[in-house]
Every structure is written in C-alpha cells, then in structure tokens.
Amino acid sequence: MSIFESVELGPPVEVFALNKACNEDSNPNKVNLGVGAYRTNEGKPWILPVVKKAEAAIVADGSLNHEYLPVLGTDNLTSAATTLLLGDDSEAIKSKRAFGVQCLSGTGALRVGAEFLARILNRTTFYYSDPTWENHHKLFVYAGFTEPRTYRYWHQENRTIDFEGMMEDLGQAPEGAVIILHACAHNPTGIDPTQDQWKQIADLCEKRKLFPFFDSAYQGFASGDPNKDAFAVRYFVERGFELFCSQSFAKNFGLYNERIGNLTVVQKDASTSAAVASQITWLIRGMYSNPPAFGSRIVSRVLNDTELRNEWMECIKAMSSRIITMRKALYDELVALKTPGTWEHITNQIGMFSYTGLNEKQVQILIKEFSIYLLKTGRISMCGLNEGNVAYVAKAIHAAVTRE
C-alpha cells in the first residue's frame, strides 16, 4: 500500500482549467477571456521589443555567469524597482528607510511579506477585498495568518466600488491588522478608489493603526503612466506610513514566466533596516534560498538605462492604449445591440480586467454555447478582445443577458 493512497485530488485552479479547455476547443470562433496575459490585436503573446534588446545584450555579455545571486537579490534591480514605485525624488529612499527585496514575482513578494508579518511580527489578522485575486487568501493563510477577513469592495447593483461598505468594514478592523490594498487596476473589478477616497482610506488606517500591504501588479500597465499608477503607494509613504508593497514585472514587462518581482519595505527610519533585512534573509533562505537571475537582469538593464527605459515607457503605453480601445469597442457594441442593463462600468474600469456583472448562469451560456471562456465571477481579461472578435463577444453577451 502506498503512503500516497490517502491523498485526495485537489480542485483545479479555475483560470488554468479554463485555459486548458479553451486550447482543446475546436470551435474556430473560440475566445479566451480568462488568462491574465497581454495579447496583440492578432491574439498573440507579445514580447516587448525593449525586452528583446535587453535579452540580446545579456546573452552577448561575456562577463556574466551563473553564480548564485545574493539572497535578497541584486542592488541594481531592487534599487531600480523601489525607485520606480516610490519615485525618483522619494524622501524615503534618500533617507534609506525604504529598501527592496527581489522576489519570485508579485506572488513571491506577497508570500515573503506575509511570512515576515506572521512569523517575526506575530500578526494574525489580515483583510482583503471582496472580491480579490483568489491567491491572496491562500498566500496569507499558508504563511501563518489565522484570522482572514474581508472588506466590501464591489457594489453589484451599481457596478462600482462600494466605498461606504469598505470604510465601514475597515473601521471595525482591530489595531495591527494587515490590510491588502490593490495599488492600481484592482483585480478583478478594474475599479480603483479616487485620489480623495485614497486619502480617506489613509486617514482610517492611521486612526485604527492598521498596516497597509499594497499589491502592485500593474504599475504602468494600467494607465500607461507609472507615476499615475503609483499614486496610492506614494501618498501613504508621504503620510509617514510603514508599509509593504509587492511588485510584479509580469504584466508591465511581459515577463510572465521569469518570476521577477520586488518587495518594497518602508519603515519609519533607517535604523531598523539591518534587522528587518536580516530576518527576511533567513525567511527566504528557508524557502528558496536565492532568486533567479535572468528576469532580474532584463528589468534592471531596462530601468537603469535611460534610452531603454524610455522605450519601455512607449511599450506600456501601447499595451494600455489597446486595452482602453477594446473597452470602448465592447461598450459601443453592447449599446448598439441595446443590451439590457448599464455597461458604462466597462469603460470606467482600468487595467487588464473587467468585472462585467454577468452571473454564473450567463457565464455558462458564454462558455458552453459560444466557446467564450471567462471566470464564473464574470471577470474577463480585456487583452483577449481584439478587432476580430469583439463584435462576436458582444453578441454572445447580449444573447446570454436576454435569455429567459
């Protein structure tokens, strides 16, 4: 008898199961709106030209080798990533009270930060938005948090942010609770607080003595402007908050499989940096020991070279602009079809995803009858839309919504 016979089959990861089903579907009109990865207007993955340049330069650089990187990553990467987040003129960086830690993309940065908060600071309670990226709950619970709680975020009837509900729920959070906040392009809703609302959130966090943990997966990719997308994090830092922020370079560099990210740590002053960094070093040592090099070399080379960085800025503008164009195209098609309901939220939302407001029954109609693959929550990846399929998708949504 095998010791593994008692192991139960785990449930499939929805987004990957959808991707597999779509790949196996023979319908020539099939559309994949599930996977969170950028696609061109031809429906193909896009390697950023600036990334190709950086890759070629790295391969041609005979001085590079395959030695281990430092546990916390290379300074030229972590410094560039932290500066991208906090700004070139950040007082926190100048005073050395902010530093970065190279991690395994945004997921790894969230996990490392959660491990530190649970193991070193003995935090037990964390809050995440309802809805949120499905991995937030798992990452923090697996790290040792024992009190997962949610705060209201999406108002289904109005199809916008439920700011009043959010503030009411966070207003009841116990002192020291960790609050996961999406820095921009909220996943899955695509709805962000206004700048004034961010200020009210900061007021509440300060009053309740809550610890902000920002998740920044779409800086630059959301609006095309990295500075605009960093407003919330920079505002909290300027207010004097101590905080963590996970950064991913999967979307804004198209480096999905390189697993390159950064955890930015912001403290009251630099005196605690050595101790904090040492404890994070031991946590990483016990998990994966050292970060990989190739993705970090690409991001570092681009962000630290003025010409390459400017070219990257044009790339993220191109990606964000195409997504914005597809939002308007879908909205226009639905309006032209006189599809019941309101659809302004599609163009009001930002970033990779749109929370359509479709229910599970309507989602199943789209999948089974039209081979349009999306999450059961009604979240769609706007990157899956293009000029060749947006009318088809709109007609399918219209059919699902009007089905009795």
* Domain boundary pick from 280, 304, 328: 304
Is 366 a member of any domain?
yes
- What value does the mean pLDDT take over residues 102-122? 98
264 shares a domain with 145: yes
Give the single-character DSSP code of 9.
P
Question: Which pLDDT score is estimated for 195?
Answer: 97
Tell me if 81 sits within 8 A of 303, measured CB to CB. yes
Q: What pLDDT shows up at residue 170?
A: 98
pLDDT at 133: 95
Retrieve residue 98's tokens. 């902010």
The per-residue pLDDT for range 204-261, each reduced to its tens digit, is 999 999 999 999 999 999 999 999 999 999 999 999 999 999 999 999 999 999 999 9
Query: What's the pLDDT score for residue 198?
Result: 98
Domain co-membership, 278 together with 325: no
Q: Answer yes or no: do 153 and 224 share one domain.
A: yes
Q: What average pLDDT does this structure show over 369-380?
A: 95
Full residue range of the structural domain in which residue 361 is found: 14-47+319-399
Structural domain includes residue 62: no
* Position 200 pLDDT exceeds 70: yes
pLDDT tens by residue, 283-314: 999 999 999 999 999 999 999 999 999 999 99
Please check the confidence at residue 194 and state whether its pLDDT lies above 90: yes
**If phi over 0 gives left and psi between -120 and 50 gives alpha, with beta otherwise, what is residue 105?**
left
From 46, 133, 154, 312, active-site residue = 133
387 occurs within a structural domain: yes
State the chain's mean pLDDT as an integer: 96
Regarding whether 122 and 42 lie in a shared domain, the answer is: no
Domain assignment of residue 60, yes or no: no
Report the relative pairing of strands 243-248 and 260-266 from DSSP bridges. Answer: antiparallel
pLDDT in tens, 50-91: 999 999 999 999 999 999 999 999 999 999 999 999 999 999
Beta strands in 159-317 (DSSP E): 160-161, 178-182, 211-216, 243-248, 260-266
Same domain, yes or no: 122 and 146: yes
Are residues 225 and 359 located together in one domain of the fold? no
% of the chain at pLDDT higher than 70: 100
pLDDT, tens only, 265-289: 999 999 999 999 999 999 999 999 9
User: Quick one: 263 and 332 in the same domain?
Assistant: no
Catalytic residue among 46, 229, 251, 312: 251
> φ, ψ for residue 54 (rounded to 5)?
-65, -40
User: Structurally, how many domains does the chain consist of?
Assistant: 2
User: For residue range 138-156, what is the model confidence (pLDDT) as tens digits?
Assistant: 999 999 999 999 999 999 8
Q: Do 185 and 41 belong together in one domain?
A: no
Regarding whether 208 and 147 lie in a shared domain, the answer is: yes
Are 213 and 176 part of one and the same domain? yes
Inside any domain, residue 28 = yes
Q: Pick the last residue of a domain from 274, 304, 334.
A: 304
Domain C-terminal end among 244, 271, 304: 304
Q: Smallest Cα–Cα separation from 385: which of 317, 336, 323, 338?
A: 323
What pLDDT, on a 0 to 100 scale, did the predictor assign at position 404?
59
Q: Would 253 be classed as within a structural domain? A: yes
Given 162, 169, 192, 215, the catalytic residue:
215
Q: Looking at residue 35, what is its pLDDT?
A: 86
Indicate if 249 and 364 belong to the same structural domain. Answer: no
The reply to whether 215 belongs to the active site is: yes
- pLDDT value of residue 182: 98
Cα Rg for the chain, rounded, in angstroms? Answer: 22
CATH number at residue 260: 3.40.640.10
Q: Tell me whether strands 353-355 and 243-248 are parallel, antiparallel or unpaired.
A: unpaired
Identify the CATH number of the domain in which residue 327 sits: 3.90.1150.10
Residue 229: active-site member: no
Q: List beta partners, residue 214.
A: 181, 245
pLDDT tens for each residue of 152-188? 999 988 999 999 999 999 999 999 999 999 999 999 9
116 contacts 279 by C-beta, under 8 angstroms: yes
Is 251 marked active-site?
yes
Q: Which two tokens stand for residue 3?
A: 């010791």
Residue 71 has, within 13 A of its CA and on its CB side, a CA count of: 14
Within this chain, do residues 220 and 335 fall inside the same structural domain, yes or no?
no
61 falls within a domain: no
Task: Answer whether 153's CB lies under 8 Å from 186's CB.
Answer: yes
Comparing CA positions, the residue from 247, 114, 105, 264 lying closest to residue 184 is 247
Residue 36 covered by a domain: yes
